[in-house]
Amino acid sequence: MTGFEKFILVLFYLSFFVGLFGLMIYWLIRDSNETYDPLYEPRSFQTTGKTYFLSGDCIMAYFLGGMALLFIHMAITVKVTDSTPRWQVVVALGLLALMMGALAFHILNFNINYWKHTRGTTLSFNPNPRTVTVSTPAGQYTIREGDIEHIEVVSNEHTKLLYSYFRIRLHNGDELLLTDKMPGIDAFFLYFKDIPHTRYKQDFPLIPEHA
């Protein structure tokens, strides 16, 4: 690795971690407001493509993808000593690139899948009387206490890369689907705490196309 490549790598890491720290502070403040403000004042939440694809896990995927490209570049241009077979270095760098690229693809695949069921959805909260209006491309639902019959939770229950979606069945026969990527979803479940629910753990809880 040349001196310039080392400089670029260090700069890349430094920029990433400083930027990530600042984003983490912002996300903590934003998530707290999204969760508790609707309990006391009317609030509406809707995400945009820009906000959605600049979330923490997406940024991690971009970072991993960038590192995969960097390792591929290093595998192509690496110079080794006579005592180290070049093929061993190339294979090691190639495996690192493959692992990071695969994880980046895994994260982005989930986020693209969940985006299809998150875009165009608005959650509007009214604390008095406690009501949530869910507006989706398929229709609008006004939900009050007692309107929800059952909730199915499908989740990988992963502590670091959590993906979950919720099938909400109403007493009138309507059913809607929300994802954990929807702003305001935590407040939704604080509004309706004691609803019967069933949890299903799946390692890869992708939302089916027909959902």
pLDDT-based confidence at 20, cuts 50/70/90?
Answer: low
Kindly state the tokens that stand for 154. Answer: 């499908």
Q: What is the mean pLDDT of residues 48-69?
A: 89
Q: How many CB atoms lie within 10 A of CB 205?
A: 22
Predicted local confidence at residue 134, as pLDDT: 96
Yes or no: say if 193 and 180 are a contact pair by the CB < 8 Å rule: no
DSSP secondary structure string for all residues of 151-184 = EEEEE---SSS--EEEEEEETTS-EEEEETTSTT
Q: Do residues 101 and 62 lie in contact, with contact meaning Cβ atoms separated by under 8 Å? A: no
Q: What is the pLDDT of residue 9?
A: 66
Region of poorest pLDDT, from 81-85, 101-105, 163-167: 81-85
DSSP 51-116: HHTTSHHHHHHHHHHHHHHHHHHHHHH----TTS-HHHHHHHHHHHHHHHHHHHHHHHHHHHHHHT
pLDDT digit string, tens, across residues 129-144: 889 999 999 899 999 9
**Residue that is written with structure tokens 């939770």 in the block:** 153
Structure tokens belonging to residue 100: 């990071």
User: What pLDDT digit, counting tens, does each position of 29-50 carry?
Assistant: 555 555 567 888 899 999 999 9
Of the listed ranges 26-30, 107-111, 155-159, the least confidently predicted one is: 26-30
pLDDT of amino acid 18: 66
pLDDT tens digits along 172-186: 999 999 999 999 998
Predicted pLDDT at 16: 65
